[in-house]
Amino acid sequence: MRRKALYALLILLAVPFVFPTWWMITASLLPANEVLSYPPKLFPTAPRWENYATAFADYPLARQYFNSLYIAVVVTVSTMIVASLAGYAFARIKFRGDKLFVVVLIGLLIPSEVTIIPLFRMVDELGLTNTHWPLIVIPIFGAPSVLATFVMRQFFITVPDELEEAGRLDGLGRFGLYRRIALPIARPALAAVAIFTFLNTWNFFLEPLVYLSDKEMFTLPLALTQYVDVYGGNIWNVQLAASVTTVLPVLAVFVIAQRHFVEGLAQTGLKG
């Protein structure tokens, strides 16, 4: 009885979180004049699947989808490599500059809005505006990478010294210890880094807004603001259809790496 009551309570608490997603999906299948109807229609009687076709046919959504996907993948993989190397160095190597990690963490305290103007001026002087380079290079060495480095360092601190001692007896050098011992057992932490890096990169809005001007170069969050009719009004049903498609890659990444993600947060001391 107690378990049933707990399940009922959890379902009730989940409603405020599930309802917006359910409304987004159902509203994407409605005619434009019914999207904002009250009370909202949560079960469309005649789903308009052509809204999804319109989202891709009348706008360069496929190209923008590819832009977001490849940028997110490149940034995620690169961040995993950089953060794992830096995290291992801060956790396992003793050197005079070990206090540098505190300086690195200060980067998390600086909002991206503060640095966007000097970064734009630098990117503009390099002639890289309206390209994807600033959306790739800056995050790899910016605040998202700092958080990823912190997660990896916290994980590598927990690695027993005996494992590295056994590796040294087998003739492994520092990089060999990292590649053959530390990295294989860091899968949970890497999964956590992969998920929040992919999600953060996928949701970039301010950076593409500042650096990009060509619609063909837009990423999805910026592209979703362009769905208007010939009179300048919002085409809500088509915009929501496009929004539904943007959620799918994030859900796929989370489902695939969910177990490792939870383990990574638990083992790096980031659990709530």
Does some domain include residue 57?
A: yes
Does some domain include residue 30?
A: no
Does some domain include residue 256?
A: yes
Does some domain include residue 41?
A: no
At 201-247, the pLDDT tens digits run: 998 888 999 999 888 899 989 888 877 664 445 678 888 888 888 88
Percentage of the chain surpassing pLDDT 90? 19
Find the mean pLDDT for residues 11-18: 85
Q: Which residues form the domain of 152?
A: 47-267
12-16, 30-34, 47-51, 179-183: which range is least confident on average?
30-34
Please state, rounded to an integer, the average pLDDT across all residues of the chain. 83
What CATH number corresponds to the domain at position 183? 1.10.3720.10
How far is it, in rounded angstroms, from Cα 47 to Cα 140?
A: 42
Does some domain include residue 121?
A: yes
Does some domain include residue 185?
A: yes
Find the mean pLDDT for residues 61-76: 92
Produce one character per residue of 158-193: b if its CB has 16 or more CB atoms within 10 Å, e if not.
ebeeeebeebeeeebeeeebbeebbbeebebbbbbb
Structural domain total, the chain: 1
